[in-house]
Amino acid sequence: MAQVQRTIPLLLPADEDLRETLAVFQRVQQQLSAPCFNEGQPLSAVALHRACYHEVKGQLNAQMTCTAIRLVAAAYQSAQSNRRPPQRPFQFRRRQALFLIGSRGRDASLRPDGTLSIWTVAGRKQLPFRLPEAFQPRLAQAKRIDSLTVLERDGRLLGRLTITLEVPDPPTAGPETETVVGIDLNETNALVAVDGQERMLFVSGKAVKVRNRRTAKTRARLQRKLAAHKAQHRDTRSVRRVLKRLGRQQRHRTRTFAQTVAKRLVEWVPPQAVLVFERLQVPSPQQGQIRGRALRRRLARWQRGLIRRWVEQRAQERGLQVAEVNPAYTSQICSRCGQRGHRRRHAFTCPQCGSQEHADINAARNIRTRFTQLRLSGLPSTSPEARADKAAGKPPA
């Protein structure tokens, strides 16, 4: 059995002592930010601890002070690992705090009576909490409760409980007993899957695409209005507030859609299935590697990455394998005769054998066939885990 970490939400009461704890934790992070920046040469967690622990101790308990030091150092290390070295000290504007739990319940713990025992600046307190019904089975299956992140949003206190689950290992069955599922991800047709028995799963993303486009137009209009107000030196708080709300709604809509699609796919595939995706290398729209403003906007709103991430998480919990194949010509080759055909939007026509079908279904079949041919030829398949090991320099298993 393998172990994975997952996060589930908690709804917490509006306790003033807990709010003050978040404010103190934020203040400690702000005090640590400038020393950790170190004139563009960020300190490690150990170096920051040695340099600043005596200056910030006493505001929180010792364990949470060490946690704040590690989080600040990790923020700078993360920026460096993304090849974006910080140019000035970070500003920790969000009020949130990390409470370690573990086997000893150091900063917080879930009590058998259904309350949360948590450390605050006013001492240890027992607070009631509410867990959404959809996440109650997952908490009951938890092998270990690791930590609790408490944050303040719109005047409410929310918790993010990190737990460790035991999941089955991926099956080791051979090609003759596995079910290979080819999956094609697109903009309008968000996910099209075809398995070895020609069963099809077709998930349309048109409704989400239309709503996101409408939201983007509204945001663009408000951003022009915001620029005009700034030029006239007028207060723009209401416009900024609406822009933040619209952006948050769009992110939540896209994330919910990706989670729903991933759940449908994992529940649809049979046990011991191999989920095969295309190994697409899509440049980031934010890095300016794509010419054309319209194309950059389309790619920025494409939920392909989110769907892929949630499918991998769901598949890991079910013990399913995830693999990748070369995407070259999967949309242009006929899945029946293997010759080049003609694709016009969602219609695919093969002049060689006369086949006519949906272009995305044809692509999903080609993805499935390509993976099957790789297995039969004895060539190693590419999985996300294997790609990560290769990037880290680890030898293949």
Residue-wise pLDDT tens digits, 109-135: 999 898 999 999 999 999 999 999 989
Closest residue by Cα to residue 200 from 367, 364, 373: 364
User: What's the predicted TM-score (pTM) here?
Assistant: 0.76
Assign 382 a pLDDT band (cuts: 50, 70, 90).
Answer: low
Beta-bridged to residue 348, according to DSSP, are 343, 357
As a whole number of angstroms, the distance between CA 323 and CA 274 comes to 7
- Tally of residues, the chain: 397
Tokens read off for 393: 């320099």
How far is CA 228 from its chain centroid?
35
Residue-wise pLDDT tens digits, 326-365: 888 888 888 888 888 888 888 888 888 888 888 888 899 9
Q: How many other CB atoms are there within 10 angstroms of residue 191's CB atom?
A: 25
Place of tokens 């930590």: 147
Strand ranges inside 122-199, DSSP E: 123-128, 144-153, 156-167, 179-185, 191-194
**Residue 192 φ/ψ region, left for φ over 0, alpha for ψ in the -120 to 50 degree band, beta for the rest:** beta
Assign 173 a pLDDT band (cuts: 50, 70, 90).
Answer: very low
Residue-wise pLDDT tens digits, 184-225: 988 888 899 998 888 899 998 889 888 988 998 999 999 998
Q: How many other CB atoms are there within 10 angstroms of residue 371's CB atom?
A: 23
Place of tokens 């759940």: 263
Q: Please state the rounded mean pLDDT for residues 235-241.
A: 86
